[in-house]
Structure 1
Amino acid sequence: MLHGAAPAAPSAAVGEAPASHIADVAARLDTPPDSARAMVRWWWFGPAVVNTQLEREMRAMKAGGYGGFEIQPVYPMELDDPARGIRNVPYLSPDFLQSLAFANTKGRELGLRVDLTLGSGWPYGGPHIGAQHAASRMRVATSAVPAGATSYMLPSVMSGETLVATYLGDGTAKEHDPVKLGLVENQPGAMAGRATVAPSAHERVAVFYIGSRTGQQVKRPSLGAEGFVLDHMDARAVQLHLDTVAEPQVRAFGNQPPTAVFSDSLEVYGTDWTGDFLGEFRRRRGYDLKPYLPVVYSGQGPDAPALRRDWALTQTELVNERFLAPVNAWARAHGTRFRSQTYGEPAVSLSSTRLVDLPEGEGPQHRAFSFTRLATSGGHLFGRNVISAETWTWLNSPAFNATPLDMKAEADRMLLQGVNQFIGHGWPYTPPGSQEPGYAFYAAAVFNDHQPWWNVMPDVNGYLQRMSYLMRQGKPANTVAVLLPNDDVYASLNPGKVSLSAEMHHHVTPELTAQILDAGHNLDYIDADAIVAQGVQHAVLVLPHVTRLAPDVLAKIHAYARQGGKVIAVGGLPSLPPGFADAAALGVNVQAASKALAAERNVQVVNGDGAVGAALGKAVRPELLVQGQNGDVGFIRRKLDDADIYFIANTGNRAVHATAAIAQQRRHAAWVNPHDGKAVAVSLAEGLKLDLAPYESAVLVLSDSPLPSVRQRKPAGAPAVLARLETGWQLAFPALQRAAQPVTALRSWTDDDATRYYSGIGVYTRDVDLDGAALAGKRIAIDFGPGTPLDTTAKVPAGMRAMLEGPVREAAVVYVNGRRAGSAWSPPYKVELTGLLHPGRNRIEVQVANLALNALAGQERPDYRLLWARYGQRFVPQDTQLIAPKPSGMLGPVQLVTENMQ
């Protein structure tokens, strides 16, 4: 079970306290609090930063609608160049710390949140970590003992290593039975480097288990941050890192500590040991592991799974107690919060999340096992209301190819999993005077003002801010909990890859997840530690192929079922005890407890994942069930005292027109526009009508009293075409100082040699004459067209993208008679013009921005040969073979459309 006490609630919240009543929520819909704004990961390359450029970029972040940044120093991008003012300074040097102080002071002045990574690159480590504190592993060596031999060669034990145990048995290095190896209690040496042994008529082998080091180096470090990754199961190594790296940085922040300090996903590859592991194992598990090391590290013999469960669980406990809890306590003591991506290796668990103040996930896989849902489930279980996600990693690779629509498509999948704080990945610092489009991190898209579509960034961030705010209100209300069978996964793990999160997909399969979602529910994960600590609060508990479970956990589940909770066991109920100690007696208890549980009327046992949806249908009414559900529509609900808030998203590239049945009943219902917060009343008498464009999202509010300022009816009547705008446009490129030219047909400006590699804004203008009678009583919008769906089965590069080519590439801002009407950057590609048009002649101007990728396509790729010769090859730019100009401009069809107002 989880060792280490759960921390008390944070003494100061990162966001505002959630509202309990819809009136309080509605009051903030127009202008949500700044604390809900998206942030960016700010990469400082080198670090080679100057204060003037830091300030310029922070002001740009503010203007673009971001709420703050996380500073992450990483590898150099260029050699020192005095003529250009580029100077890579050592990490933690006085110059670096001065830059930190400046960024913090100026960022706070600008009203930005300032977070800090407690290290350079990842995982934690650096030059201060010697071999004795480096990430550890068990190394296995062998020595042949020929027939009749009276001695054998001992292994070479190097710096940072310790010989843990020696075993002797019949066979050779390649062919021997680890289960039959005998422990050699002492090794008398007849000569240096050899041990004596009684002769035997058989060929034998000596097998040595050596506590060693992985040798892993910090990934992507800045200058002066190179070195070993630390041992996350060694309290001394963790404290050394805090003293050497964290303390001087936080001191540089003075009396304004970071809002949060950050740890990236645990990627300590190959670790499975630490120096005092045997003693800690005996203390926790109640028996000595040394006699069983050959079984654990070979995986052979019937006891191997149970032994490996105990071995891996001990590692989780050590990481909890020696890394997560101390860093969280250190952060609180320094007036900040610990934001942690608590998954990866070593094998932290879902319940490890309760040891950190700010859980964070990553990954948009909302219909499969997800690191993001790990974080949000931990937040929901343990009362962490603000749950962030590293978002847009590898989005539409290569760098500079991601669009605002791509951003929304991934962000919506994060929201569906419970995320309510976005950490954009990311913002590359770019030295002044650099060739456009500037720097890019090797494994990420770029979301700074070097992108031409920055003209709609405030609108994109406004959407993310409003949705993050709404998804923090009230309480989470997912109806299904899926038990993560940690003990089964522990038992299946192999040395050198001890990770619960990496292997959990074998139990929480895409099919299982889809069955739950398509049955009209959303889900959280839960684990045995959480059940023992606080029971099950969800309406349904799903056990996915769980074979190992402790009797006390089964007792909690039984009590839950007796009190009305519904249990669906996939593949049968547990039959084995979790670990090795007292296995026979505990196994009897487990089987008896499962038999008693199976007798409860609220318990269903189904054969496979594909039967879960039907079982859910028998167990509980669907929360929100879409007629003819094809998996593209997802939802998540937040519950207030007097209302329910639903975020509903079409995650597919084709329009959805359907009816949904909804379980919750309130007196009033309204759609809230996620882009501006305006509400329109809706009737649910005939079910919930869903009309969603590709990748469109909506907010449904069910409430006991009507929302303030709610419009009582939607516009009625089918849209009619007021004017077709296929011709008559003039196109200018102000950045190229080119006079406007007539457009004979709407097509990509990359078709012209002069603008094939142009990245920027093209300005389309034309006049429209309108009759006053055509405007009276009408809502009028400019409609750019539906876009073109792409083949969703086609292979895409790393990350994800929206599988739709828009009719404007990639973002349009519309002005009518000199006044800004709005922007179009995601479906439906419409901008309302009501109130801006007048009888007679009207000037319509559409400013269309494309990708920075086009300019990059016209340039030779940088030659990093000298940079890598100086610093080593610390990065490889992503997918550069895919860099090519993308269609740009207003592609049509474009028309003015009207609807009657009622």
Structure 2
Amino acid sequence: MSKPLLALALSCAFAAHAAGPSTTFADVARHLQAPPPDARPMMRWWWFGPAVVKSELEREILAMKAGGIGGFEIQPVYPMELDDAARGIRNVPYLSPEFLGAVSFANRTGRANGMRVDMTLASGWPYGGPHVTVGEAAARLRQAVVDVPVGAASFALPAVMSGEQPIAAFVGSGVDPASLKLLQVQAGADGRAAIAPADAPRKVVVYIASRTGQQVKRAALGAEGFVLDHLSRKAVDHHLAAVAEPLMKAFGDAPPYAVFSDSLEVYNTDWTDDFAAEFKRRRGYDIVPHLPTVFTGQGPDAPALRRDWALTQTELVNERYLTPIDDWAKQHGTQFRSQTYGEPAVSLSSNRLVALPEGEGPQFREFSFTRLATSAGHLYGRPVISAETWTWLHSPAFAATPLDMKVEADRMLLQGVNQFIGHGWPYTPPGTIEPGYAFYAAAVFNDHNPWWNVMPQVTGYLTRMSWLMRQGEPANQVAVLLPNDDVYAALVPGKVSLSAEMHTHVTPALTAQILDAGQNLDYTDADAVLALGVRHPVLVLPHVTRLAPEVIDKLAAYVRGGGHIVAVGGAPSLAPGYRDAARVSAAVAAKAKALFASPNVRTVAHDDAVGAALQAVLAPDMKLSAQASDVGFVRRKLRDADIYFIANTSNRPVHAQASFAAVRKTAAWIDPDSGRMTAATLPASLDLAPYESRVLVLADALPSAPAPVAATTEIADLGRDWSLRFPGKAQAQRLAALRSWTDDEATRYFSGVATYEKDVELTAAQLRSSRLVLDFGPGTPLESAPKVPAGMRAMFDSPVREAAQVVVNGRLAGAVWHPPYAVDVTGFLQPGRNRIEVRVANLALNALAGHALPDYRLLSARYGQRFVPQDTALIAPQPAGLLGPVKLLGAGQ
């Protein structure tokens, strides 16, 4: 076997644990209890400095494995401390032999433990570093305006610095394009240029190819430097040679499963050195005479010109950044995982150029970067679609709970995500005061959290749901055409991003109308329509005015084949771009008129009419009798079954009847936490606790499953007279009533696991129930929460702060970490005396609040201020422990 083929085989070994997507439910059923390991969540592993030691790397890898985490992405970032020989802290330069040795060790150790190992091809983001010369740095077009007085025969040219190049100059009475004419400029040795005198003041407007000056964000030691020009093949190739190749050598003959590119945040970029020549080659005309129009946006041709200018940038980033890196990854036996959104203006269909699309953001009821990635995966045959998850979860660091994790993860699942990349896991040197390091603006999901005791249950849920959402095929019934050309036409210099501005067309109201009509949705775009057609029963056009004639031809064929279109605001009428616009616009209008004459095309004036138009042509995929906006779903279709993941996204219970478009003979519920099945009847009675999720399978045939048994009858009130034992304390406290342990000064700042113990006398008659449940109470919805500047959290105060293991008579009965806060103890109890232990874990935030925060003054003096910890003013002890009520419940007799 050749070396590249051997490398590819090794990189795919992690995936070999599991077969491809199941086509029948019988295959699904075989894996419900123990899903394949490749569906386990991963963690972004921050190496600060980098200052890592192999013993701690190994300890943290083993901790990840024990917690049910399936792998990690190595991400070297800024130093957290100055070198300290006594503590073994030494910041080594990025790509130094010491750093590469650590990478090699982590790869070998991770693989030896059956874990997936990914590597970001940079430090910090976006790609860049000290190897990026000013001539390869991210580029922009800047405008300089020079006032020319009356009668002046010369003027001072704008200063042009390293990395800059004048493109063109114009002269006129102002800066508006109508007043400007192209000016031939000859620079003199004195930095001035001659100009014919005039009897009125004038302005010379000079356009200069410049550099953004952006530096790599959160760079490790030795990785500082310019962000590279993502529109330059030369700059990208240089980066691959200078950074990616040394990294791959550290992996040896066992390359990473994937190499990673974070979200494109190349701020202010909109140019590259050969942009004018590339533009003319692609668009068929010269952009230079139109630069004032592009820059100012003034004049009737500005939108069409800006569309062409922005589209050219998309083509360049596709061809010079995404494609070369994907090709390079394949050549090195790995895969390219890319967050393909941001700036430069990549499109949904840009994701076709990467092996592993990745999203970010839990906004399932509005335009979402996550849905960009999942839609592209559905369209272009990428069955595993990841998302960077929990990026801004419940700030400040160490405030996030397992319930917070579930709330955001469920919203990702509803958008089609089936691989979680947790953000993240901070490496922490041995001996660091607890709770250890945290990334400046993110939650922490490592074993420095006391609630790590339930992490196997959390990851078990995430793994099972991820795996289920890979089975069969996606089954969303509605597609929304992203009007890329309309958005391109509205973009401005310095902010060229389709994803940032798409919300003006794909509004929250539009998304809500589709979801509340009982549907889920994908996005598509003109490139996908041309390449693949339209596969969904209904296509929504959200205020689309610019559309190529050939795309309309595809839509006409789609309608002739039985497809339906719901157009918001009217028919397209304009050419996408500038060249030959009058003729093309006439063709667009004529073709659109013919298309819209079809009875399968409906036009509505506003977003709020979309739902009714959908219901007129498409039965709801899931229809609820009440509270539709609080409940989301996503469906996967197998040959003989349909799997619905259903989630209550609100902090209040939901009670509704649910009916489904899929017609099958039998139905069953799958418990997301255990994989156990119980029988279901249709229409289904949907009783969901706050933030609870369920899985319903409709199938032609199902194995027999027991009927669900509700435990609602109180057998014993256990809310009083517990003993509470803290680690290291010889004497247990007696609690007449349950309350937060932060009420006591001695334990206000305690973060850890405390054990509640109680002996309960039960009779045989009390245990006769077919189901027994230890119920810890319903919890309390929050009307409002303390202001968190970024991110999301569960708007809910739980009765168990924050998670617990339940041990009955010495046997682990289960864990509680999300509503409903109950553990099935059937078979664990006995007549007579029973010992119940509840091992409650709280937040690490309490310990953090108990000591002074680090002073980073000297660190910033040494390395520059590379980070500012987020929301430290919000650090305060949070309620902790078993808060009650606690009851033993049984099924009614």
TM-score range (shorter-chain normalised) is over 0.9
Matches within 5 A, 1:136-147: 136-147=139-150
In the alignment, which of 86, 111, 114 is matched to residue 111 of structure 1?
114
- Asked whether the 8 Å contact 2:263–2:342 carries over to 1, the reply is yes
Letter in 1 for 2:21: P
2:574 corresponds, among 558, 572, 576, to 576
Alignment deviations for residues 21-46 of structure 1 (CA, whole Å, 9 cap, x no partner): 11111100000000000000000000
Matching of residue 724 in structure 1 with residue 717 in structure 2: yes
Change (3 A) 1:190 1:802: closer
Q: Give the number of equivalent residue pairs.
A: 883
Is 1:598 the equivalent of 2:596?
Answer: yes
Structure 2 counterpart of 1:723, which letter? A
| Partners of 2:177 and 2:298 within 8 A in 1 | yes
Inter-partner Cα distance in structure 2 for 1:347 and 1:621: 36
- 2:36 alignment partner in structure 1: 33
Q: How far 1:899 sits from its partner (Å)?
A: 1.2
Match of 2:347 in 1: 349
Say whether residues 1:135 and 2:162 are aligned partners. no
Residue 9 to residue 485, structure 1, CA distance change in 2 (3 Å): farther
Return the alpha-carbon distance in structure 2 between the equivalents of residues 794 and 886 of structure 1: 12
Alpha-carbon displacement from aligned partner over 1:128-154 (angstroms, at most 9, x marks no partner): 001000000001112222222222222
Letter in 1 for 2:741: W
Native 8 Å contact 1:779 1:900 kept in 2: no
Task: Determine the C-alpha separation between the residues in 2 that align with 1:29 and 1:722.
Answer: 32
TM-superposed deviation, 1:10: 14
Per-residue CA shift, 1:486-543, capped at 9, x if unaligned? 0000000010000000000010000100000010000000000000101000011000
Listed one character per residue, the Cα deviations across residues 62-85 of structure 1 (whole Å, up to 9, x for unaligned) are 000000000000000000000000
Cα distance in 1 for partners of 2:42, 2:218 equals: 21
Greater CA deviation, 15-24 or 532-541? Answer: 15-24
Q: Distance in 2 between matches of 1:188 and 1:332?
A: 49
Offset of residue 689 of structure 1: 1.1
* 2: CA distance, partners of 1:464 / 1:176: 56
Aligned: 1:183 with 2:168: no
User: 1:819: which partner in 2?
Assistant: 811
Write the mapping of 1:161-240 to structure 2, written as runs, cut at 5 A: 161-169=164-172, 171=173, 175-184=174-183, 186-189=184-187, 191-240=189-238
The 2-side partners of 1:248 and 1:16 are apart by 33
Mapped partners of 1:475, 1:328: distance in 2: 25
- The alignment partner of 2:659 has SS state of strand
Moved more, 215-224 or 140-149: 140-149
Distance change in 2, residues 1:458/1:189 (3 Å) = closer
What is the CA-CA distance between 1:793 and the residue it aligns to? 8.0
* Secondary structure of 2:765's aligned partner: helix
Give the Cα separation in 2 of the matches to 1:671 and 1:312.
Answer: 49
C-alpha separation in 2, matches of 1:593 and 1:739: 83
CA contact (8 A) 1:10 1:357 kept: no
Q: Which residue of 1 aligns with 2:846?
A: 854
How far apart, in 1, do the equivalents of 2:661 and 2:336 lie? 38
The match for 1:871 is 863
How far is 1:788 from its partner? 0.4
AA matched with 1:87: R
Whether the 8 Å contact between 2:552 and 2:592 is mirrored in structure 1 is yes
Work out the CA distance in 2 between the residues paired with 1:493 and 1:727: 63
- Report the CA distance between 1:777 and its aligned residue: 4.3
The answer as to whether partners of 1:816 and 1:844 remain within 8 angstroms in 2 is yes
Cα distance per residue 1:536-556 (max 9 Å; x no partner) = 000110000111111111111
**Aligned counterpart for 1:274 among listed residues 272, 275, 281:** 272
8 A Cα contact 1:16 1:35, kept in partner? no
Indicate whether 1:769 and 2:767 are aligned.
Answer: no
Any idea what SS the aligned residue of 1:645 has? strand
Aligned with residue 882 of structure 1, among 849, 857, 874: 874
Q: Does 1:713 align with 2:710?
A: no
Shift of 1:562: 1.4
Tell me the amino acid that sits aligned with residue 715 of structure 1: V
For residues 386 and 190 of structure 1, do their structure 2 counterparts lie closer, same or farther at Cα, with a shift above 3 Å needed? closer
C-alpha RMSD of matched pairs (Å) = 1.5
Cα distance in 2 between the residues matched to 1:40 and 1:711: 36
Structure 1 Cα separation of the partners of residues 661 and 754 of structure 2: 48
Residue from 24, 29, 51 that aligns with 2:27: 24
Task: Say which is worse superposed, 718-727 or 883-892, in terms of deviation.
Answer: 718-727
Matched, 1:693 2:689: yes
Residue 279 of structure 1: SS of its match in structure 2? helix
**Distance between the aligned counterparts of 1:510 and 1:534, measured in 2?**
27
Secondary structure at the residue paired with 1:368? coil
Task: Show the counterpart of 1:3.
Answer: none
Listed one character per residue, the Cα deviations across residues 652-679 of structure 1 (whole Å, up to 9, x for unaligned) are: 0000010112111101100000001001
The letter for the 2-side match of 1:826 is H
Structure 2 Cα separation of the partners of residues 794 and 540 of structure 1 = 42
1:349-388 per-residue CA deviation (whole Å, 9 max, x = no partner) reads 0000000000000100000000000110010010000000
SS in 1 for 2:322: helix
Matched, 1:499 2:497: yes
Alignment match of 2:285 (pick from 276, 284, 287): 287
Contact 2:10 2:255 in 1 (8 A): no
- Pair 792,551 (structure 1): closer, same or farther in 2 beyond 3 Å: farther
Q: 1:662 to 1:792 in 2, by over 3 A?
A: farther
Question: Are the equivalent residues in 2 in contact too, given 1:136–1:212 (CA < 8 A)?
Answer: yes
Do the aligned partners of residues 105 and 190 (structure 1) sit closer, same or farther apart at CA in structure 2, a change above 3 Å counting? Answer: closer
Query: What letter corresponds to residue 178 of structure 1 in structure 2?
Result: P
Question: Which amino acid is the alignment partner of residue 262 of structure 1?
Answer: F
Q: Which runs of 5+ in 2 are unaligned?
A: 1-7
Partner SS state of residue 861, structure 1: coil
Q: Which residue of structure 1 aligns with residue 63 of structure 2? A: 60
Partner of 1:779: 771
Structure 2 Cα separation of the partners of residues 665 and 42 of structure 1: 45
**Equivalent pair of 2:11/2:257 in contact (CA under 8 Å):** no
Query: Is residue 806–residue 812 contact of structure 2 (8 Å, CA) maintained in 1?
Result: yes
Specify the code of the residue in structure 1 equivalent to 2:742.
Answer: T
Deviations 1:818-870 (A, max 9, x none): 00000000000000001111111110000000000000011111100000000
Structure 1 pair 733–310 and aligned structure 2 pair: CA distance change class (3 A) = same
TM-score in terms of structure 2 length: 0.98
Equivalent of residue 103 in structure 2, options 90, 100, 105: 100
Which of these residues, 317, 320, 338, is aligned with residue 319 of structure 1?
317
Matches within 5 A, 1:482-521: 482-521=480-519
Identity %: 67
Closer/same/farther in 2, CA of residues 561 and 776 from structure 1, 3 Å limit: same
**Aligned-partner residue type, residue 688 of structure 2:** L
Aligned mates of 1:738, 1:700 — CA distance in 2: 49
Q: Which residue of the partner structure matches residue 843 of structure 1?
A: 835
Q: What displacement does 1:691 show?
A: 0.4
Letter in 1 for 2:517: A
Residue 252 of structure 1 corresponds to: 250
CA distance in 2, matches of 1:792, 1:486: 37
Q: Deviations over 1:702-744 (max 9, x none)?
A: 111113xx4231216x61011000112110002x324212111
Q: Is the 8 A contact 1:682 1:712 kept in 2?
A: no
The secondary structure found in structure 2 opposite 1:739 is coil
Residue type of the alignment partner of 1:182: K
Greater mean alpha carbon deviation, residues 146-155 or residues 31-40: 146-155
Q: Where does 1:792-831 land on structure 2 (aligned, <5 Å)?
A: 792=784, 795-831=787-823
State the partner residue of 1:549. Answer: 547
Alpha-carbon distance in structure 2 between the residues aligned to 1:249 and 1:191: 47
Matched to 1:569, the amino acid is: A
CA contact (8 A) 1:680 1:712 kept: yes
The residue type equivalent to 1:829 in the other structure is: Y
